[in-house]
Amino acid sequence: MLDARLRPLIDPPLNAVGRALARVGVTANIVTLSGIALAIAAGVVLAQGHYGWGLALTIANRLLDGLDGAVARATRLSDFGGYLDIVGDFLFYLAVPLGFGLADPAHLKPALALLFCFGLTGISFLAFATLAAKRGLETTAHGKKSFFYNTGLAEGTETIAVFIAICLWPQHFTALAYGFAALCLITVAQRTAAAWSLFRD
């Protein structure tokens, strides 16, 4: 919901850093793989109850997620880079709730609910992108991407905000997880309605 509105604010500094990294030979895929390593590390430390470290790794992961696209724009976009980026995104989205679920038995059910809803949201996102590409649809609302990004109530900005909140206040994980799971389901419903409008024959 907020991603497109934040783009004009975050893209200029990210692009500047991306150009600097590209000049010294850092590739977008290296940045993406580094982010993937941080996502796995975040899940591991959260599973051990180290929420402060989890917060730091979450923020670092999201920074790298923004920088890989900036480096790609400074060099060249590639289909494999787009694939690697979205795999890294969903690995991160799944690793954090999984870590919380493993850290505390009381967190397991809300973590599973959130994982289920993230999975469903991801499926709807990728299915929409596949059909949009088939029909030649394009959008730049989320910046220049390798494939179509459909908007919704629960996007990257909202997910990051919730993940930061659960790291800061893990005692409220259950309420935050169920609440965001509900927003994910609403997003799936929104995307399904948009698909019905655009793709029905």
Q: Which residues are catalytic?
A: 89
Quick one: how many helices (H) and strands (E) in the chain?
Answer: 7, 0
SS3 53: helix
Task: List the structure tokens of 72.
Answer: 């790609």
* CA–CA distance, 64 with 62 (Å, rounded to integer): 5
* CA–CA distance, 109 with 121 (Å, rounded to integer): 18
Which are the contacts of 143, defined by CB distance < 8 A and separation ≥ 6? 7, 11, 69
Contact between 139 and 147 under an 8 Å Cβ cutoff? The reply is no
Alpha-carbon dihedral 66, 71, 74, 76, rounded to 10 degrees: -110
Picking from 178, 173, 180, 160, the residue whose alpha carbon sits closest to that of residue 49 is 173
Each as own residue / partner, the long-range contacts of residues 51-57 (CB below 8 Å, 24 or more positions apart, any chain) are: 51/167, 51/168, 51/170, 52/167, 54/96, 54/99, 54/167, 55/164, 55/167, 55/168
